[in-house]
Chains A and B, each alone.
Chain A
Amino acid sequence: MKPHQLILIVEDDEAISRLLQLAFTQQGHRTLLAKNKQSALREIQTRSPDIILLDLGLPDGDGKELIRTIRSQLRIPIIIVSARSDEEEIISALDEGADDYVTKPFSTNELFARVRSAQRRFLVHNTSSSIITCDVLQIDIEQFTFTKESLPIKLTPTEFNLLKFLMLNRNQVLTHSKILKEVWGIGYQHEMQYLRTYINALRKKIEPNLTSPTYIQTELGIGYRFVCNNPN
């Protein structure tokens, strides 16, 4: 994470906001606190924060509306901090333009990782290279080739497109419907069977251990995340 960032915490629960303030201050950042939508909007206008952490269950209204407002004005990472079991809320927040999410209870490590990768995406606009490397995996988008530990691995056209989409959007949560729409096309958003089948096929080809996948991680009820710890 870049040092000395201004982090806006939009959270009405005191215990959580205190923990977040403590954790980010300890890392050398400054924090702002807003307990409701109104004051969040005010802070955004006057202080222009670098990152926003947003609790969806605000007392004075819909967090999604806030995301829409922020997105229309600022290009900064928005991370959702949500209570468990409202998957649909999380999905629609992601559709509105939130960058990632953590569910309560979360570890601060997990949150820092989400913030870091969201920030990295905002820094790097477009990679000119057509080759993406993650650990021992390498995909060449122009040449339609894929290697694992430098050995070529054959992928079907759909497998290749799926893996390409995942690797282009590495370290980012991708909802089921987004992947289906991008890889299979409009009209396929609900074809979960396709997605599960091809994810399974890809995992068999790239994962060292199927019991605990390293690269393609499942976000239950939400989608998938391609984890890439040492990108080129």
Chain B
Amino acid sequence: MTNIILIHLLPVIVIALRGDIRSSMIVTTLSIALLALYIPPTLSLIVHEMIYIWSFIIFYIVGYIITIQAKRIHLNSMKEILYHTLSHDLKTPLSSIMGNATFLVETHPLDPALRYKALSQIIESSRQMNRLISSLLDSARLQDTQTPLKKEWCDLQDLIALALREFRSDVLHERVVFRIENDIPLFFGDSSLLMRLFVNLIDNALKYSDNAKAIEISITVSKEKLQILFFNECPPIPQEELDNLFKKFYRAGNTADISGSGIGLSIARDITRAHHGEIRAFSSDHGIRIEVTLPILKRPASLDMETL
């Protein structure tokens, strides 16, 4: 009998390790119900002996304790990942700023081209840091369930234009190709979060593609949804890595030296989800395509446009 009880405890432990209290409790109840069928009177859920009742209670206690512990471990490892990513992503641009600044102060380079290069580096790294911090602030705003989205009528094309302004024009090098259908309706959403979404996707496209290659952005509209596509050329990425791309702080395997990609995409996913949309990555012949789909939940009232 003890063996049978132990066997029934096994699924409880396995599920509890996932750290989800609801599924732990469901599995515990199920395995107790199955166990009750073995216990005399067999094939009924009625149990007479006190000792069995006690073991059932122990089942619940074991399930509960393991779930709580597992949850704590999960949280800690999340914190650790966050901590590492943050310190890496913030320290990289900061080192560049400090390095270039001390280089300028201590060695007084006389070559104006060299000075210009160091100063440009400082500005670019500061901008990168500013984008990251803004992203984190927006992400914190999303996590806080107390502050609802500030929804208003947004012009998506305008927001993409604003997102492009966050980058220095010599970084963009006129690499961005914009394709847009003529009449994109206004979208009811949080404008600053949507702009952050576009900044992060442009940032990602710039990081993962060669310097001279074009980045394509397009918006298409159908009856129920708006679709925004970002495409950049890059070496192929396996589908499983693409699926992981939006997980919190994931970084594609071969890109250890590219900073800040992990946080950006997971925040992009959070922003899309907050607008009840979907974000997906596809590998096509010679690049990667990120597709944001936003459902149209509220339509602008038709205005009586004046005629000329």
Contact = CB atoms under 8 A, between A and B. Distances in A.
Interface stretch (B112-120, B149-157, B256-264, B284-292): B149-157
B162 to A, nearest CB: 6
A157 B158 contact: no
A159 B192 CA distance: 26
B261 to A, nearest CB: 22
B306 A211 contact: no
Contact of A156 (B155, B160, B306): B306
A193 B155 contact: no
B147 to A, nearest CB: 11
Contacts of B90: none
Contact of B308 (A156, A192, A212): A156
A105 interface: yes
A120 interface: no
Contacts of B300: 193, 197
Contacts of A221: 191-192
Interface string A73-113: 00000000000110100000000000000000100000000
A218 B162 contact: yes
Interface string B152-195: 11110111111011000000000010100000001000011001
B303 A194 contact: yes
Interface of A: 84-85, 87, 105, 154-159, 192-194, 196-197, 199-201, 210-213, 218, 220-221
Interface of B: 126, 130, 134, 137, 152-155, 157-162, 164-165, 176, 178, 186, 191-192, 195, 300-301, 303, 305-308
18 contacts: A84-B137, A154-B308, A156-B305, A156-B308, A158-B306, A159-B306, A192-B153, A193-B303, A194-B303, A197-B303, A200-B158, A210-B161, A211-B161, A211-B164, A211-B178, A212-B165, A218-B158, A220-B162
